[in-house]
A and B are shown apart, each in its own frame.
Chain A
Amino acid sequence: MGRIVVLDAITAGRIAAGEVVERPASVVKELVENALDAGARRIEVELEDGGRTLIKVADDGEGMDAPDARLAFERHATSKLTSAEDLDDVGTYGFRGEALPSIGAVARVRLVSCLPEAGEGVEVLCEGGLVSEPRPGPARPGTVVWVRDLYFNTPARRQAMRSAAAEVARVSEVAGTLALAVPGVALSLVSEGKLLWSTPGSGSLEDAVVALFGAEFARSVIAVDGRSGPVRVTGLAGLPAVARRDGKRQYLFCNARPINPKLLRGAYEEAYRTLLQAGRTPVFILNLSLEPASVDVNIHPAKTQVRFRDHGLVYRATLSALRAALGRADLFGGRLAGYPAARETASAAETAVPADWRDVLGRGAGWFGRETLPPYAADDASESPESRGGDWAWPRDLAYLGQVGRTFLVARAADGLYVIDQHAAHERVVLERLVAAGAGEVDPEARTDQQLLAVPVTVELAPGEEDVLERSLAFLRRVGFELEAFGGRTVLIRAVPAVLSGVPVGGLIADFLDRLGAEGGPGTGAERAGAERAGAEETGAENAGVPGARGSLAASFDRFRAARVMAACQASLKAGQGLSEAEAEALLGDLGRTSEPRTCPHGRPTLLRIGLDELERSFGRGRG
């Protein structure tokens, strides 16, 4: 009888372990988190064969005495929680007391630990869930854990492991993420005896970024630091030039705990809206500092799912911090070469293997794409990233000089020479007018000024769109359109919002209806599309678009905005159009009055600044 009970316990342990210890990277994550919880200042991670044969994590933390070391392998044995209420107030990475027993259940683990002042350490072994009695160990302050033969007793899991390179890449991502969370801790990763990367532990996030991603990348990020009430948002945000197509290099931490960046997707998308080209995602490393009591962390064993008591507050704090940082930055200043639109777009799309991966598979450099560094060679990498972005504001003294190639406007200001893409600039100006027009949405009483049309515009509806039109008529009218259905599938537009004077409204409306008709139009995430559908259903067909139907109105408005971005593009000057001096000056003036003069609605730059310093450098002239 007794044996069966024991076996059952072991089996249960293995099953539960699967939750916590999915692969070598999860082992590393748990061990590094334990080291961090133990107050380590330096943590070294070593892998052999991608972690299959060995994962070793050594720290210089507070260590354990013999009884604690034994207890560490007991399920739900944790030093980090004393009562159930504490679950509300978790300030450490660990709190379940599950990691070590789970790892011990599926591998051969050896733990050596020693308290700082103790003359002797302790050693505990745990193999397939069977824990040895503590034995004396070396007097090395801190803790070292060796995890050998991972999944030696669970063949299915062992087989599920990917190639060594893939597992190394995963480990590197997990450890790198933690290294960014705690720039004050020196973390290093060694695989097959080779150092892949190491952070200096200087406390500066920039230094950690340099160590992981290189100095070049570090030059393309700007500092973020904003506070809204109890929420402080700090970190680094990438300039549009380093936005990615693969969604990577987004790191979000909550009190230095990695959380899923998608949690605040709305906030960063909004902050970068119109700054990025379609299909690109911003790069950022942000930490939210908030009272531990206002974060709920016990959602998922992987712990990346947290829930905020007041999500709206965190959202707004993140948005405004990012906006403030981006608003100050000279996004496209400097050389054209710094902007990847023309050069990189195609190649990035064609590259099947992400550059990061190629590094791992090919040259053996770290997942983060760094060249191999000698161990802890912090000095090598710490050349301080110079001017990143810098402060920039629309130059008041911008003076128009002339047009180049019927496409670009050249202007000068005290801070340098400006080249403006007239098409992109015009798009931006038109967009802002349209958005301003739609601002009536906020105030249901506000009536938008209308421009009556000399020749009504007819829009032919596609089959099935009658219904979509029906649903959006009230909304379109309130935004300022005067339209009527005109036999069958034709709509006649007799008046447009005044700000749309001169804009081809037929295409705009057709586009709007298209998007409303299609499920989840471009630019709207799947969740949002879902929310829109739900909103439309719940409000019923007739009221969609009336002020009371908030949800669906907001949703259609969002779509409408997308449609307007399109229209702005259509309405804009085509490149290759001659502009009179007065027209060019007016365009520059209008651009300067927009809220985001640096990009067109599609995220392409509107202007390029060649700073005085850049000119001086180019001509080999020093300052003074």
Chain B
Amino acid sequence: MKFKVAQENLASSLQLVQRAAAARPTIPILSGVLVETSSNGLTLTATDNEIGIRLTLPAMIAEDGAFVFPGRLGDIVRKIPFGEIAFEIDNSNNTANISWGRSRFVIHGYSAGEFPSLPEPGSAPALAVSKTDLRRLIRQTGFAASHDDSRPVFTGVLLVVAEGKLRFVATDGFRLALAEAPADIPADQTFRDVIIPSRALAEVAHVLGEEGDGPVRIAFSDNRVFFEASHERVVCRLIEGQFPPYKQVIPQSFVTRLGCNTQDFLSACERASLIAHEVGQAVKLEISATTMVISASKPELGNVREEISVESQGDPLEIAFNPRYVIDGLRNISAERMAYEFTGPLSPTCMSPEDGKENSFTYVVLPMRVG
């Protein structure tokens, strides 16, 4: 195998793909990166058998082949100056000759045949969603998943395909986030609900990057999900188990509903949380027809009381929250105005963008009982 590749392309691709490589591999080869030539250039693959990432990048291929570089390749390439790097692999003794300018580097690797093959989606049912929407779905739900490995389903995000939309749901038991986006769903396919580790979705978001749009194909096999874009693929194992009945958690009616400027509410909560900064301390909301008072107090620290304008319907209400949970929700509403629905001082509340339809995001959080 022989190829030339731009240092900056290879360095950034390696950095992404290596996130899937095993940090403490059971077999050393799992910490490596499989490099293959293809018609589009180079394909880089890394996997720890839970998650796999494959990227393609442009390269000048002089001779086809495949080789597994050790994990250190990333470090080496990062230190090579900007410009073209030439690779020549000697498969007979598993060494790679890396040269640039007047320098040369030889490293040992593994034969490609020993690398676990990344599963293929095959004919598994698949749908398509835009990169922009997928990024938002991940961002708006991933934070609400739990880190508690003792209840695996809570560490995942539920993917539901329904009514022409792709829905992501996550909960750690304390709050629940739901986001939806339009998707291209083949009419003749059926999709079952699956649970994807939130860690894997974080990798998907990473691989997709901040910029650019285009379709992402999501395919669901029996025990895996595949995210495929033009140059990227992320494969991960699904979490087995029964996701909690999330629909029951989302209130269907309200006794009080308010609309207000999202940023005003968020800033007031953030300031209040400086007083109620320890877990277990509450921020109080007092809602009347046109105002909402946000307050918190801590004897040894001081107290804060802020009033913002709201338009509210229904009964006046006093309710207490863990400010962190409210802030988490508000930060995920990019719309200028948000809507907040309450079903009573000790029952579920539900926030969303006021024009909920387009950028559908629903966040359920339960209040605190204080005093």
Contact = CB atoms under 8 A, between A and B. Distances in A.
Given A450-B369, A453-B366, A501 B322 contact: yes
- In this complex, which of A457, A501, A571 has the most chain B Cβ atoms within 10 angstroms of its Cβ? A501
Contacts of A500: 280
Given A433-B279, A454-B171, A501-B174, A449 B366 contact: no
Contacts of B175: 454
A576 B364 contact: no
B369 A495 contact: yes
Given A498-B322, A498-B368, A454 B279 contact: no
A507 B171 contact: no
Nearest to A493: B173
B371 interface: yes
Interface string A564-576: 0000001101101
A457 B367 CA distance: 16
B187 to A, nearest CB: 33
A497 interface: yes
Contacts of B318: none
A570 to B, nearest CB: 6
Given A498-B322, A507-B150, A576-B23, A454 B365 contact: yes
B33 interface: no
Nearest to B243: A455
A489 interface: no
Interface string B145-169: 0111111000000000000000000
Contact of B147 (A450, A497, A574): A574
A507 B148 CA distance: 10
A contact residues, range: 20 to 34
B247 to A, nearest CB: 12
A505 B346 CA distance: 20
- In this complex, which of B148, B149, B246, B367 has the most chain A Cβ atoms within 10 angstroms of its Cβ? B148
A576 B281 CA distance: 29
Contacts of A590: 278
B277 to A, nearest CB: 8
B244 interface: yes
B249 interface: yes
Given A450-B368, A453-B174, A454-B174, A504 B279 contact: no
Contacts of A260: none
Given A454-B175, A455-B173, A449 B282 contact: yes
Contacts of A499: 278-280
Contacts of A450: 368-370
Interface string B237-265: 00000001010010000000000000000
A452 B148 contact: no
A451 B366 contact: yes
A453 B23 CA distance: 35
A449 B370 contact: yes
B346 A504 contact: no
B172 interface: yes
A18 interface: no
A102 B127 CA distance: 95
B348 interface: yes
B287 interface: no
Interface in B112-132: none
B176 interface: yes
Contacts of B278: 433, 499, 590
A214 interface: no
Contact of A502 (B172, B246, B367, B369): B172
B244 A449 contact: no
A45 to B, nearest CB: 56
B320 to A, nearest CB: 8
- In this complex, which of B249, B280, B346, B348 has the most chain A Cβ atoms within 10 angstroms of its Cβ? B280
A497 B280 contact: yes
B365 to A, nearest CB: 7
B27 to A, nearest CB: 19
A437 interface: yes
A570 B174 contact: no
Interface in B18-59: 23
B363 to A, nearest CB: 10
Interface string A511-549: 000000000000000000000000000000000000000
B304 to A, nearest CB: 18
A447 interface: yes
A551 interface: no
A506 interface: yes
Contacts of A576: 23
A505 B173 CA distance: 10
Nearest to A429: B279
A453 B370 CA distance: 14
Given A498-B281, A505-B173, 12 more contacts: A449-B368, A451-B368, A453-B174, A454-B364, A495-B369, A498-B282, A501-B280, A501-B322, A501-B325, A502-B279, A570-B150, A577-B147
Interface of B: 23, 146-151, 171-176, 244, 246, 249, 278-282, 322, 324-325, 346-348, 364-371
23 contacts: A433-B280, A447-B371, A449-B368, A449-B371, A450-B368, A451-B366, A452-B347, A452-B368, A454-B348, A454-B364, A454-B365, A455-B246, A457-B173, A495-B369, A498-B322, A499-B279, A504-B150, A506-B150, A506-B151, A507-B148, A570-B150, A576-B23, A577-B147
Please provide the 9 A-B residue pairs with the shortest distance between their CB atoms, ordered closest to farther: A499-B280, A504-B148, A498-B280, A452-B366, A450-B369, A455-B244, A455-B173, A449-B370, A454-B176
